[in-house]
Amino acid sequence: MTAILDSLAELRHALSPSQVLLPSDGLDRYQRSALDGFAGRAAAVVRPRTTDEVRVVMRWAYRHRIRVVAQGANTGLVRGGLPDETGATVVLSLELCRQRLELDVVNRTVTASAGHDLGRLNEELAGHGLLLPVDVGSNPSVGGMVSTNTGGAKVLGFGDVRRRVLGLEVVLPDSDATVLNMLSGLRKDNSGLDAKQLFIGTGGVFGVEVTARPRQVATAWAAVRDDESAFALLQQLEESVGDFLTSYELTTRNVLEIRARHNPGLRLPFPDGRVPELAVLVELSTTLSSRAGLSVEDLLVDALDRAAGLGQVLDAVVGPHDDMWAIRHGGDEFGREGVSYWVDVSVPRSRLAEFRRRFFGLVEERFAGWVPLALGHYGDGGVHAGVLYPHRRGSCDPAEVESLRDELYDVVADLGGSFSAEHGIGPYNQRFYHRHKDPALQALSGLLKSVVDRRSILGVADFGPSGQG
Amino acid sequence: MTAILDSLAELRHALSPSQVLLPSDGLDRYQRSALDGFAGRAAAVVRPRTTDEVRVVMRWAYRHRIRVVAQGANTGLVRGGLPDETGATVVLSLELCRQRLELDVVNRTVTASAGHDLGRLNEELAGHGLLLPVDVGSNPSVGGMVSTNTGGAKVLGFGDVRRRVLGLEVVLPDSDATVLNMLSGLRKDNSGLDAKQLFIGTGGVFGVEVTARPRQVATAWAAVRDDESAFALLQQLEESVGDFLTSYELTTRNVLEIRARHNPGLRLPFPDGRVPELAVLVELSTTLSSRAGLSVEDLLVDALDRAAGLGQVLDAVVGPHDDMWAIRHGGDEFGREGVSYWVDVSVPRSRLAEFRRRFFGLVEERFAGWVPLALGHYGDGGVHAGVLYPHRRGSCDPAEVESLRDELYDVVADLGGSFSAEHGIGPYNQRFYHRHKDPALQALSGLLKSVVDRRSILGVADFGPSGQG
């Protein structure tokens, strides 16, 4: 520890004192997960402003063999950007990297330093009728979105962050802190290995393709009988109005009931207060102005009428965008109802119905007292699967959650799915990576990581086979 | 050579004799480029049918240190799938790999062995109203499309092949011919390095996301004054009808004139036979049926009227899809007019006007007798830049073309572009890779390649720094 402190003095000198925060400065917001209160312990938090300063930090870390964890806005869900509990890790916070924010309107690209946040970026784009179509509940940094390949509630319509990244500038963890400049802003470049794909995860400056802001949006909730009907409806929508379909989100009855119970202002849009077994939020949008003669609301109403005629839908209500999404996004009602845990998985869409049945069955049969919940990006094959132990039942055993995760991920693997659809690995998912990832892929990933990060100084996830760090 | 022949006997035994073709069997179609007549010389052509047979071949090649070049339908343009002239290379033709062609309609994915071709795949999909939206002049194999990340004339609307690949099965060139199974069919999977991105180029089975077939298409040619007007029009179209814009292709006057001269059946759709300096093909399409009340033809007419009012367009004609595209795709008229060479570059859209001006200026000032031509995927920043030496001028010096490429790619690099937008590296572009690719990226790519291909037995491109194999 003394060695780290000595070397930190060197860094305070190379940067400026305010860019190197020590535990005595109070590091809580860089160490604590907003999700579950987990707190690691950092030796320091280093905050470079420019690529050159990132290089100073990486050269320093390489020389002293100090482990560095890159962090953006600390909104991650798998502890991938947090220090561990040893107190020997340095957090490389990119929050001050905000030098560049350059919009190329003709090219429809924006180049932004890692520390800008999604909200700020979209504010800048809105002035030009443009949008980076990432729709998540938090306000991540652009560097963080690249590092985790952020998904969200519009992946169905617009794809994930990886699909939009046209360029990256990367600082390597080697002796010289080599800079890879892959900031071309090109939509097409087949002049070699697409190396940036390896670095979705390293900080710096990056460039993304943006899209036009929709001028019309129509949103509805539809009650469906079962998962099979949910997919029949999805297929009918894709078939008839697929060009406009941007979201397709599923919610189970208990989620709706808990939300309604703790939010008196929230009105569920189903007739006579009946809460359906399953409901989906459907959103259509287009950049076409309504003056062009097309109304996506009319399209949505027609498609839902057709669905009712086909028995795919029991009830459906088109309503104001914000009210409809408030039901989907909710607030902190689960915390008020009990102790809850969520995981984020994906399976092929054609297996989602089976997944949900097996997940609910597993909880009901094997985990007495726990209530299974599901909130899904069903349109893209993703589902947030949760379990809740209600306060009224007394206290629960958190160890049960870990054994539930074991069994649940076995189901996911059996259905050809992923134990982490959107959130990454991080310490939170590390043991499942070792359990479920094809060993040949683990071996290859470990080798590739060792080529790029020879001293193993970067990040907290272990991509190689278990025990070979 | 005797050693190779002996070892080939071993392979004929392990597979079947008809799967191992020797020079005496006539290897012309596996050795010759359809583009420019270049012919390499293979020691043999090996044609596995299954992944297990590919493994047999790769284990054999690893053991005997034989260099192997994977080949699909041999429609590539940079000799990346052709043997070199040494006669010591074995072509691994994947044309018989056709075991799997599995459509998952609910998941909207198709899993196909590498040997199927694009035409066959889309025939299968058409029965379900689905489409793999790759629009190119040839009929490549699915393995070839992944290996070159195929672009084409619809990248603007649908993205390139990389954006659609959800999974790959890869056979590694190691002692055991390890199989990496990354065939998940998941739209979202952030459970580790997205290793398939490294292998867009290795053969095997792969899975892609498909899209719905358009039900309406409207196509027009518009005459524009200059490149700046072409981009003003593009921006106006993206702004007003961007959800439907699938192609935006530019053609210079001399291209149109040469096409018209050699194709009496081809009618240029401009009034009074006036051929404009520049013209763009615009295509809108949608999966929405015309019964839903929206006509993309009406949208296109309105947008072009608006453009005429804004001075962005001189003349514009909406016409039948096939007639309009015949003008864009043409036939062999350049060969009848003279000796022509084409390169495929990309620059940020905001630099394309400058690129074309500098390209035309370069040819006119420095390469007497050559005529500069341009055909562009302008909407995605791509342009096919050509030069023609007309027969009527006598014979040309092919060495001039190489020095023109030198100078042209310097311009491209200066504008932040790529010397190979869609076609890959291959021997045809090898020296430009060493000249223009960031040396740090070359070094990293070489290291990564050596991790995966330790005996350097696979392919003909050299990803590492020059001279380090």
The tens digit of pLDDT for each residue in A187-204 reads: 777 766 777 787 774 444
| Residues of A in Cβ contact (< 8 Å) with B231 | 106
At position B294, the amino acid (one-letter code) is L
What tokens appear for B205 in the block?
Answer: 């089975």
pLDDT band at B461; cut points 50, 70, 90: low
What number is the ipTM of this complex? 0.80
Report the range of poorest mean pLDDT among A425-439, B34-48, B189-203, B332-346: B189-203
pLDDT band at B210; cut points 50, 70, 90: low
pLDDT of residue B409: 95
Closest Cβ opposite residue B190 in set A109, A148, A350: A148
| Residues of B in Cβ contact (< 8 Å) with A105 | 235, 350
CA of A192 vs chain B CAs: smallest distance (Å):
6
pLDDT of residue B207: 53
φ/ψ region of A419 (left if φ > 0, alpha if ψ in -120 to 50, else beta) reads alpha
pLDDT of residue A202: 44
Q: A235 by DSSP, 3-state: which? A: helix
Closest Cβ opposite residue B381 in set A188, A190, A423: A188
DSSP string, A192-230: S--GGGGGTTS-SEEEEE-EEPPSEEEEEEEEESSHHHH
Q: A9 in contact with B at a CB cutoff of 8 Å?
A: no
At position B120, the amino acid (one-letter code) is R
pLDDT of residue A204: 41
pLDDT of residue A467: 53
Q: B236 in contact with A at a CB cutoff of 8 Å?
A: no
- Which position has the token pair 């940067």? A15
CA of B121 vs chain A CAs: smallest distance (Å):
19
Chain A residue with minimum CA distance to B181:
A438
Closest Cβ opposite residue B418 in set A189, A288, A382: A189
CB B205 within 8 A of CB B169: yes
Could you say which residues from 63 to 102 on chain B have a Cβ atom under 8 Å away from some Cβ of chain A? Answer: none
Contact B193 A243 (CB under 8 A): no
What tokens appear for B125 in the block?
Answer: 């999909």
The stretches of A273-393 forming alpha helices (DSSP H) are 296-309, 321-329, 333-337, 352-366
pLDDT of residue B52: 94
Q: Pick the residue of A105, A150, A193 with the most B CBs within 10 A to test the interface with B by mutation.
A: A193
Q: What is the mean pLDDT of residues B253-261?
A: 94
Could you say which residues from 276 to 335 on chain A have a Cβ atom under 8 Å away from some Cβ of chain B? Answer: 286-289, 292-294, 298-299, 302
Query: B183-197: per-residue pLDDT in tens?
Result: 877 777 776 677 778
Closest Cβ opposite residue B445 in set A193, A238, A417: A193
Which regions of chain A are under pLDDT 70?
A: 1-2, 191-192, 201-210, 460-461, 467-469
Chain B residue with minimum CA distance to A162:
B163
pLDDT of residue A22: 95
For residue B51, give every residue at least 6 positions away whose Cβ sits within 8 Å of its Cβ, in sequence order, or none: B97, B169, B171, B179, B204, B205
What tokens appear for A190 in the block?
Answer: 């087949």
Q: B413 by DSSP, 3-state: which? A: helix
The answer, yes or no, to whether residue B271 has pLDDT greater than 50, is yes
pLDDT of residue A180: 86
| Residues of A in Cβ contact (< 8 Å) with B303 | none
For residue B356, CA distances in Å to B78, B222, B334, B363 come to: 23, 19, 20, 11
| CA distance linking residue B446 with residue A270, whole number of Å | 60
What tokens appear for A56 in the block?
Answer: 């100073």
Q: What is the mean pLDDT of residues B455-462?
A: 73
Q: Pick the residue of B146, B187, B231, B422 with the most A CBs within 10 A to test the interface with A by mutation.
A: B187
| Residues of B in Cβ contact (< 8 Å) with A232 | none
Strands A245-252 and A205-209: unpaired
Closest Cβ opposite residue B107 in set A194, A302, A348: A348
How many CA atoms lie less than 13 Å away from A267 in the CB half-sphere?
Answer: 9
Chain B residue with minimum CA distance to A159:
B187
pLDDT of residue A198: 78
pLDDT of residue A460: 66
Identify the helix (H) or strand (E) that includes residue A318.
Answer: strand A315-319
Q: B140 in contact with A at a CB cutoff of 8 Å?
A: no
CA of A227 vs chain B CAs: smallest distance (Å):
12
| Residues of B in Cβ contact (< 8 Å) with A107 | 348-350, 381
* Top-confidence residue, B203 or B68: B68
- Mean pLDDT for chain B? 88
Closest Cβ opposite residue B151 in set A188, A382, A421: A188
At position A197, the amino acid (one-letter code) is Q
pLDDT of residue B206: 46
| CA distance linking residue A433 with residue B191, whole number of Å | 7
Instruction: Tally A–B CB contacts below 8 A.
Output: 273
Q: Pick the residue of A55, A102, A105, A106 with the most B CBs within 10 A to test the interface with B by mutation.
A: A106
Q: B169 in contact with A at a CB cutoff of 8 Å?
A: no
Bridge partners (DSSP) listed for residue A171: A179
Identify the helix (H) or strand (E) that includes residue B56.
Answer: helix B51-64
pLDDT of residue A2: 63
Q: A364 in contact with B at a CB cutoff of 8 Å?
A: no
